[in-house]
Structure 1
Amino acid sequence: MNTQQFGGTIPCSPVHELLANAVARYPGVSALDFMGKCTSYAELGRLVERAAAGFQRMGVQKGTRVALCLPNTPYYVISYYAILRAGGVVVNLSPLYVERELRHFLKDSSARIAVTLDLAELYGKFAPIVADGSLDHLVVGSMLGILPPLKRCGFWLTRRKTLATIPADSRHVAFNTLVRSGDAPRAVPCDVARDLAVLQYTGGTTGIPKAAMLSHANVSANSEQLRRRLPEIAPGSGMLTLVPLFHVFAMTVALNLSVLLGLKIILLPRYDKELLRKTLKRTRPLFFPGVPTIYASINEAAAKETWELSSIRYCVSGAAPLPEAIRRQFEAISNCHLVEGYGLSEASPVVACNPFGAVRAGSIGLAVEDTIVEIRALDNPHRIATPGEHGEVCVRGPQVMLGYLNRPDETEKVFIDGALRTGDVGYKDQDGYIFLVDRIKDMIISGGYNVYPRMVEEALYKHPAVSEAVVIGIADARRGQVPKAYVKLREGATTTEEALQTFLADYLSPVERPKTIEFRDTLPKTVVGKLERKGLVAEHQEGVQTASGLSLERK
């Protein structure tokens, strides 16, 4: 393996060599399980080699950007490693993007080749992009081609109208054509420290979408850093993969980490409670990374019906803060270790994680190996804060990105003294455990006091009737800003705003308590299931503007 080390103990290698190594070590082990159809590491390796040769025939060479717009299917895994093996760069795109967004990201990344599925809802967004010449080639995978026989028949009988008819022209390439037998792919030299592996779009700390440039060293190092935080796990153990692979959290924790360890990646293409319940029973996974809303959903469902959770031993929660109440309840019903980790796209993404068996409540854990987390004072970012003092979390390590694509000004802003600025407020205790308080941009300044939405949400989650909670800051004539809470109750539970306010009085100071609490049947979420403040902030502001500039909140 072409491995290098950069100023620490973590080895870095071309990302596709993680798979080559797994194929050599675990050829007969199941690498993928998609709806019951399994693929061994040997077969996965053969498919990746063929696909890499196919991409090279299509014109992919060193540095060529290829977009992946796919749900969790074998096509994503094969294409991901094949693009890298061919010398290309993976551009991760969400299948939920609309045509306008896809056009923007394809142009911004310079991707002229994309991979998607023949589902009408996906292909329909690419059809006009291909037709006007904005893409040179669109590789299209067949949904029927990856299903086991019985499910293939069922899909054809009940859902064949959801499939698109793909034109037979040179711009459209069937995935089966891509992986046809032929010459082995050409070897492409890889400078792991400088060559890009992935362009990962993120709002970063400003909310403006831009591509974090992740090198082969960044991505491979982060997988190894997380592996060193884990106990020994036997090859072939199941990794249930519900978080979408185009999201950087799943790309590292569910995909590259699994390949590094020789695990079986159990792919679920979407969140469906009954499908998840049946898959847990059928596959009995050992590892189940997720986001807090997934664990909360299982907690609620398991109170009413039987869920087979006994096989699960290790869960890492990421992408959003994990409320302590959710963690404790999930551990109680599953008898697993659920630990909170922390990261961001600009760090490939894992920065810190609680050690299994040594969780510190409310903490995102300890920095992963070869990573330095600095807390920089809010009043002077060039000063390192003392233990316990709040400041901006800043990061150094082999997983930190090269910068933002085509945005040198934004790259300059996000680094200070060589450290990555995360935009998060936090502190360290005497043992080095890191505690996040909130996003700097989400912090509410009420009457001169700092109020952190995360702390208010944690208090709300302590109430037994609360299923989900989001807190935002709204304008207030007297205090400048005050907190407002949006709450979804558990199914069948009831409470009132007055009762919740009384409950919160035991946990929050008067300035921290929400001025108003609004109950909702649903709360907005991102594609990975993370509760989203942005939409609620925009909705509130629109409501205020509609009221002729007069605030609708109580004064």
Structure 2
Amino acid sequence: MRSSGEVRPWSHLLPRGVRADYNPPVGTLNELLRCSWANHPSRLAIDYYGEQWTYADLYARIAETAVALRARGIGRGDVIALYLPNTNWQPVWFLAVLAAGATVVNLSPLDAPRELAHKIADSGARWVVTANGDGYLSRISALQQRFSGLVSVTCDDAVTTPAAKLPDQTLRYADLIAEHKGAALPDVAVAPEDVALLQYTGGTTGEPKAAILSQRNIAAAVQSYSELFRSEPQFGPDQRVLVYTPLFHIFGLTTSLLRRLSEGASIYLRQRFDASEALDLIHEKRITAFGGVPTMWINLLQQPGLEDKDLSSINYAISGGAPLPVAVAGRVKELMGVNIRGGGGMTETSPVGINIPPMLPPGKDGTVGIPVPGIDVQIVAVDDPRRLLRPGEHGELRVRGPSVTRGYWKRPEETRAAFIDGWLMTGDIGYMDEDGYFYIVDRKKDMIVSSGFNVYPVAIEKAVHEHSAVADVAVIGIPDSYRGEAAKAFVVLREGAAEFSLEELREFLAERLGRHEMPQQLEFRSTLPRTAVGKTSRLELRAQEQERRATISN
């Protein structure tokens, strides 16, 4: 019997000509993208609410911005924070900072003031780039009062209403580049191991920690994705990609933006997801690729007039962030003629990891796929991370490869804890089947231990989602005096559906779950809390539940 430690047992599942031990040839993102500027100068690069830039236009703005940064003394060792929504200025600034030899730190527009301050202080950012809007500038002004010398740059765009007055120490983008119009990219030596991005993710202390992603990490991630898909129709410069996924998040940045730019595709970039708008764009612009979290797909399918739209141009569909209900995937297949792709990755892997290959055989429902070219994955025992497990045995996934971070910014202890023998411990619980396909059962930190049994919230959520009245569901573990921990389900009902009792739910689940997996509590909600990228936030649900219990006990 093979084990997950066997040398790449999934190799035979990759498309013909694609090697599991693929070594991405280009070492820096700067070098990788130069080919797109050179090969596709007149092709549409970005459409942002009708404002269109060709690849030549995009190159010119990146070059002018990079030269302006160098003229202001920005270079290797400097950190520039990007506090931007999904806007056409995001790729300009991200790539210009890298071209100048400096490092980007992404800030989320959804960050609370305290979190923004932590990221600025922790990263040591000297500049912050933001949208010219009152909401953005008021927060930046507060940060400038706290951090002396913090310079801000504002960018006007087609959506954000300009602020009436700019704070002190704030530059207008137009003024910054005024003397550098028509400049070429600066001749700056950039090495593969130079830090390109500090991308924050959750920390064990509650404060976010930044994964250090090098030029090599991100360039490798982009090339690994392209290598996996290069034999498919959805690869290449003739693609029109609709992007709502946040570019300040690593998934949107790498897979929706950088990968597509490297291939010379046309990106239709929008700020906030609007299902009606998305359908119109797919229909009118003949969009070929679209991806989002499950709630986006569900909203898309619930739109009136859906049957009247021609969605046949789609050749690539992807869902991530949470499990996608089987019925939703089936409906997308009916409408678009494509299987929704999925996978597994994390900030620390830039975020490549596992992806569903082009030809998925029957009987593999629920798989997240196989490792992308150049990535190795193994399953190890939770209680002994050096012991490899056999197919079908549940354990923790560990990963290594050229896109994997070397550690956390200013967090030596957390870096040491994250790696064992050169492998990054992902915190995901899953297994590999006999054919080499991987399955993720849940996050280790979300696992519920009930009466000594391991219970996985995702498994319960999938079962509850089969109830015809359920629109959305999340499950967390709660204290239980008898079992130690028990499952509690938070349910959002479909429009017009009636509430049901816990007993009725348990009766429905009787043939779907074991007795130890049965929810012990049920709560109806109008909505569920979500993260910046649309994932259900179990962390916030747990915090709300703790607060509720504390109130009751008091």
> TM-score by structure 2 length?
0.91
Q: How does 1:197-216 map to 2 (within 5 A)?
A: 197-203=196-202, 208-216=207-215
Matched, 1:238 2:240: yes
**Displacement of 1:8:** 4.6
Distance in 1 (CA, whole Å) between partners of 2:549 and 2:466 is 30
Whether the aligned pair in 2 keeps the contact of 1:325 and 1:461 (CA below 8 Å) is: no
SS of 2:38's equivalent? helix
Residue number in structure 2 paired with 1:312 = 314
Post-superposition Cα deviations, 1:481-501, rounded to whole Å, max 9, x if no partner, equal: 111111112223335134432
SS of 1:381's equivalent? strand
Residue number in structure 1 paired with 2:354 = 352
Aligned length: 527
Rate the CA distance shift 1:42–1:116 in 2: closer, same or farther, 3 A: same
Residue number in structure 2 paired with 1:220 = 219
Matched, 1:475 2:479: yes
Residue number in structure 2 paired with 1:291 = 293
Distance in 2 (CA, whole Å) between partners of 1:387 and 1:303 is 46
**Displacement of 1:224:** 1.0
With a CA cutoff of 8 Å and minimum separation of 6, indicate the structure with the bigger relative contact order.
2
Distance in 2 (CA, whole Å) between partners of 1:23 and 1:291 is 31
Residue number in structure 2 paired with 1:450 = 454
Matched, 1:411 2:415: yes
Match for 2:219: what amino acid? Answer: S
Q: How does 1:107-118 map to 2 (within 5 A)?
A: 107-118=121-132
Rate the CA distance shift 1:221–1:206 in 2: closer, same or farther, 3 A: farther
Match of 2:545 among 517, 532, 540: 540
Distance in 1 (CA, whole Å) between partners of 2:405 and 2:219 is 12
Residue number in structure 1 paired with 2:383 = 379
Rate the CA distance shift 1:303–1:203 in 2: closer, same or farther, 3 A: farther
Match for 1:84: what amino acid? Answer: L
Rate the CA distance shift 1:513–1:303 in 2: closer, same or farther, 3 A: farther
Residue number in structure 2 paired with 1:508 = 513
What is the alpha-carbon root mean square deviation over aligned residues? 2.1
Q: How does 1:404-443 map to 2 (within 5 A)?
A: 404-443=408-447
Residue number in structure 2 paired with 1:186 = 186
Residue number in structure 1 paired with 2:464 = 460
Match of 2:334 among 313, 332, 335: 332
Residue number in structure 1 paired with 2:257 = 255
Q: How does 1:483-498 map to 2 (within 5 A)?
A: 483-497=487-501, 498=503
Post-superposition Cα deviations, 1:406-451, rounded to whole Å, max 9, x if no partner, equal: 0110000000111000111110001111111111111111111111
Residue number in structure 2 paired with 1:74 = 88
Percent identity (aligned): 39
**Displacement of 1:357:** 3.3
**Displacement of 1:285:** 1.4
Whether the aligned pair in 2 keeps the contact of 1:249 and 1:319 (CA below 8 Å) is: no
Matched, 1:525 2:523: no
SS of 2:387's equivalent? coil
Structure 2 spans left out of the alignment, 5+ residues: 1-20
Match of 2:365 among 345, 361, 367: 361
Distance in 2 (CA, whole Å) between partners of 1:339 and 1:204 is 29
Distance in 2 (CA, whole Å) between partners of 1:196 and 1:123 is 28
Structure 1 spans left out of the alignment, 5+ residues: 1-6, 148-154, 156-161, 550-555
Distance in 2 (CA, whole Å) between partners of 1:125 and 1:314 is 38
**Displacement of 1:305:** 7.0
My pick for the range that moved more, 409-418 or 53-62, is 53-62
**Displacement of 1:303:** 7.9
Residue number in structure 1 paired with 2:396 = 392
Distance in 2 (CA, whole Å) between partners of 1:12 and 1:302 is 46
Residue number in structure 2 paired with 1:39 = 53
**Displacement of 1:326:** 2.8
Residue number in structure 1 paired with 2:103 = 89
Distance in 2 (CA, whole Å) between partners of 1:101 and 1:211 is 12
My pick for the range that moved more, 263-272 or 247-256, is 263-272
Match of 1:51 among 52, 61, 65: 65
Matched, 1:106 2:111: no
Post-superposition Cα deviations, 1:157-199, rounded to whole Å, max 9, x if no partner, equal: xxxxx53134385x2111122333525443221220x211111
Match of 2:142 among 128, 135, 158: 128
Post-superposition Cα deviations, 1:254-280, rounded to whole Å, max 9, x if no partner, equal: 011111111111111112333333333
SS of 1:395's equivalent? strand
My pick for the range that moved more, 234-243 or 77-86, is 234-243
**Displacement of 1:388:** 0.8
Distance in 1 (CA, whole Å) between partners of 2:549 and 2:146 is 42
